[in-house]
């Protein structure tokens, strides 16, 4: 069956752009052998493409593409980095578990645990280097002696009773 | 959401202050000892200070009359009664530092201060206050701290 020009012309552009199927290509090539008008149309398309392509290639040849790419890379590097907080927020917003606010009791528990731990850690730790120091001493009725032995596990405060006190107490 | 934040904040402050208050206390052990030369008995509960007592004094017998473990909180005075009426000891925690507790101690007899003293006591240390006669011996107050 001989194909008419009107039915092939719709395929001609696709053929020119190499977008036809194998069957369509066979059909178009068969028609082109017998139709000088469609061959001319195809030649016109090729000329047009050459006409457009030549100046574009000339411009592309002059352009320094590595330099353009370097410029793009520099722009990417200079792009402002996201803060950790905004990253965290976007992550939380994207996670269904956290969107449902189930993290609130978890955070509360964590805070309480941290408080307890901090209290234990920061609790005043006894120092074995410490000694006992008598800062102030007053006794209206007694003579008083303070004795601090060399190995100061014990500090002694001794009240010396006078004879009259001795009589009162015994 | 606001209510949750409020509850969390309240919980935070409550926990912080309650734990702070709990840690600001000192465990003190006050022992009243009768030291004499009658017999040779040494009370087993005095083992921790037995060596010191032996090296410091010439008594042969140490008898425990009273043993009072107590928790001191700042500026609250506790009283340890003596063997006879009108005789007692007052102890007040007036300061708590990293490695010592500041204590004010008074020995009082019939309304009169026999002794008024202020000491810094490190953990595991003991202050012995002695001298007042009792029977055939003398009374010793052993004040030890742990915190």
**Shortest distance, CA B30 to any CA of chain A (angstroms):** 14
Q: Where are the beta strands (DSSP E) in chain B?
A: 26-36, 61-72, 77-81, 87-96, 101-109, 112-121, 126-134, 137-146
Summarize the confidence of residues A42-71 as an average pLDDT: 85
Residues of A with CB below 8 A from B4's CB? 104
Distance CA A2, CA A4 (A): 6
Of the ranges A11-20, A65-74, B102-111, which one carries the lowest mean pLDDT score? A65-74
Look at A140 and B113 and tell me if their CB atoms are within 8 Å: yes
Residue of B117, B82, B123, B124 lying closest to B103 (CA atoms)? B117
| Over residues A57-71, mean pLDDT | 80
SS3 of B66, please? strand
Residue B8, pLDDT score = 64
Tell me the average pLDDT of chain A. 79
Q: Is residue B13 part of a domain?
A: no
**CA–CA distance, B138 with B82 (Å, rounded to integer):** 12
pLDDT over 90 for what percent of chain A?
A: 9
DSSP string, A10-53: HHHHHHHTT---HHHHHHHHHHHHH-HHHHHHHHHHHHHHHHHH
pLDDT at residue A122, as a whole number: 67
Q: Is residue B2 part of a domain?
A: no
pLDDT at residue number A126: 47
The per-residue pLDDT for B101 is 87
- Domain-embedded: residue B19: no
Which candidate in B122, B126, B129 is best for mutational testing of the A interface (most A CBs within 10 A)? B122
Question: Would you state the pLDDT for residue B15?
Answer: 58
Residues of chain B with pLDDT under 70: 1-23, 147
* Alpha-carbon distances of A129 from A152, B100, B102, B124, rounded to whole Å: 10, 10, 16, 11
Other C-beta atoms closer than 10 Å to the C-beta of B105 total: 22
The 10s digit of each residue's pLDDT in A118-136 is 877 765 544 445 566 888 8
Q: How many CA atoms lie within 13 A of B121 on its CB side?
A: 33
Residue B107's nearest CA partner among B143, B65, B69, B54 is: B143
Q: What is the model's pLDDT at position A44?
A: 92
Q: What is the pLDDT at residue A47?
A: 92
Q: CA-CA distances (angstroms) from residue B36 to A92, B6, B57, B87, B134?
A: 76, 64, 10, 19, 9
* ipTM associated with this complex: 0.78
| Cβ(B110)–Cβ(B104) below 8 Å | no
* Residue B76 counted as domain residue: yes
Q: What are the sequence ranges of the domains in chain A? A: 5-62, 65-105, 134-170
Q: Which residues 91-110 of chain A have a CB within 8 Å of chain B?
A: 101, 104, 107-108
Answer yes or no: are the C-beta atoms of B144 and B27 closer than 8 Å.
no
Q: Please tell me the distance from the alpha carbon of residue A14 to that of residue A2, in angstroms, as a whole number.
A: 20
pLDDT the model gives residue A60: 79
CA distance B48 to chain A (A): 10
- How many structural domains does chain B have? 1
pLDDT confidence band for A170 (50 / 70 / 90) = very low
| The pLDDT of residue A131 | 63
A135 to chain B, closest Cα gap in Å: 5
Tell whether B103 is covered by a domain.
yes
User: Nearest-CA neighbor of A141 among A120, A162, A157?
Assistant: A162
Domain extent at residue B63: 25-146
Would you call A142 an interface residue with chain B, using a CB distance cutoff of 8 Å?
yes
User: What is the spatial distance between Cα A162 and Cα B133, in angstroms, rounded to a whole number?
Assistant: 11
Say which range, A6-10, A16-20, B101-105, B116-120, has the weakest mean pLDDT.
Answer: A6-10
pLDDT score of A150 more than 80:
no
Nearest residue in A to B5, CA atom? A104
Q: Is residue B40 part of a domain?
A: yes
Tell me, what's the pLDDT at B47?
A: 79
């Amino acid at each position: 069956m001989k194909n008419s020009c009107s039915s092939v012309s719709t395929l001609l552009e696709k053929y020119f752009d190499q977008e036809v199927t194998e069957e369509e290509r066979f059909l178009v090539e068969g028609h082109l052998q017998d139709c000088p008008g469609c061959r001319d149309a195809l030649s016109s398309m090729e000329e047009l493409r050459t006409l457009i392509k030549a100046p574009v290639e000339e411009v592309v040849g002059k352009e320094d593409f590595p330099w353009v790419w370097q410029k793009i890379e520099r722009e990417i590097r200079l792009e402002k980095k996201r803060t950790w907080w905004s990253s965290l927020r976007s992550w939380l917003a994207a996670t269904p578990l956290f969107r449902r606010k189930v993290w609130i009791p978890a955070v509360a528990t964590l805070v309480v645990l941290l408080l307890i731990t901090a209290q234990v850690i920061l609790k005043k730790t006894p120092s074995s280097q410490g000694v006992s120091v008598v800062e102030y001493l007053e006794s209206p009725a007694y003579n008083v002696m303070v004795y601090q032995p060399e190995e100061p596990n014990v500090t002694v405060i001794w009240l010396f009773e006078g004879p009259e006190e001795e009589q009162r107490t015994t | 959401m606001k209510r949750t934040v409020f509850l969390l904040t309240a919980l935070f402050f409550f926990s912080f202050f309650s734990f702070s208050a709990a840690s600001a206390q000192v465990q003190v052990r006050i022992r009243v000892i009768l030291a004499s030369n009658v017999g040779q008995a040494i009370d087993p509960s005095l083992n921790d200070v037995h060596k010191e007592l032996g090296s410091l004094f010439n008594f042969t017998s140490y008898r425990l009359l009273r043993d009072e473990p107590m928790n001191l909180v700042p500026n609250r005075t506790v009283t340890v009664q003596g063997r006879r009426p009108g005789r007692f000891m007052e102890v007040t925690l007036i300061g708590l530092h990293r490695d010592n507790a500041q204590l004010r101690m008074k020995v009082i007899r019939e309304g009169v201060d026999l002794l008024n003293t202020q000491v810094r006591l490190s953990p595991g240390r003991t202050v012995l206050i002695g001298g007042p006669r009792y029977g055939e011996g003398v009374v010793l107050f052993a004040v030890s701290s742990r915190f």
